[in-house]
Amino acid sequence: MKTEELIRAISAGAGRPPVSMPRVWLAALTGAVLAAGAIFFAVLGPRPDIGQALETTRFLFKFVVTAVLFASAVPVLRALARPGKRPAWPIMLAAPALVLVAIVLELVALSSGQWISSLVGTNAIYCLALIPLLGILPLAAMLAALNAGAPTRPVLAGAVAGICAGGLAAIFYAAYCPDDSPLFVATWYSLAILLLALLGALGGRFVLRW
């Protein structure tokens, strides 16, 4: 039996109408982007010096690494919604690898006396609060898409949904955040995304159970 047929059979057994998973994911991801964007422009908006910031490598790097995290998590998340589909886990190492390289370059470029101040930054508390704020609706959309499938590992699927939503939220937040050091990004962006991963795992435990 093909995976799509299995999902339809499970849906029928649960009393749900059959669904087209590609359409479900298209709707979920589109809704996630629109929701995060709407919250961003309603609450935050881009930083005042974004024109100058766009000319710096550190600022642009934030978009690269967060976009890579989001893009690499999407196919893994879709695979987790399909029984018998093996996720391509190695692709999710791309963003951490980029961050690691950036950290090494940053430590070489800065004097040791600047390391702590660059790591702490000026906006850490906002980062921990605003990335989850921007990611909560995208996380809900991704959990809904997973629920339309048939994930066999609901907690893991929920956690990956949180990482995916966190990556998307961090793309938008990066345009607002005044801290551009890879040391700051590696620390505070990661912690904020971890919060969404934990929330996603909790949601997966209760929302995605068959």
The structural domains of the chain, with segments of one domain joined by +, span 20-207
Q: Of the candidates 66, 54, 76, 57, which has an alpha carbon nearest to the alpha carbon of residue 142?
A: 76
Q: Is the distance from CB of 28 to CB of 132 less than 8 angstroms?
A: no
The pLDDT value recorded for residue 181 is 95
Q: What angle is formed at CA 57 by the lines to CA 184 and CA 197, rounded to 5 degrees?
A: 40
Give the C-alpha distances (Å, rounded to integers) separating 59 from 62, 81, 99, 159: 6, 34, 13, 27
The pLDDT value recorded for residue 102 is 96
Tally Cβ neighbours within 10 Å of residue 75.
15
The pLDDT value recorded for residue 4 is 52
The pLDDT value recorded for residue 44 is 94
The pLDDT value recorded for residue 208 is 80
CA 15 to CA 9: how far, in whole Å? Answer: 10
The pLDDT value recorded for residue 15 is 52
**pLDDT one-digit tens code per residue, 193-202:** 999 999 999 9
In the chain, DSSP assigns E strands to none
Q: What angle is formed at CA 185 by the lines to CA 93 and CA 166, rounded to 5 degrees?
A: 65
The pLDDT value recorded for residue 1 is 44
User: Could you give phi then psi for residue 96, rounded to 5 degrees?
Assistant: -60, -35
Residue holding tokens 């490598």?
57
Q: Of the candidates 163, 180, 152, 187, which has an alpha carbon nearest to the alpha carbon of residue 59?
A: 180
Q: Please state the pTM of the whole predicted model.
A: 0.88
The pLDDT value recorded for residue 207 is 82
- For the chain, which ranges sit under pLDDT 50? 1, 3, 6-7, 10, 13-14
Q: Is the distance from CB of 160 to CB of 139 less than 8 angstroms?
A: no
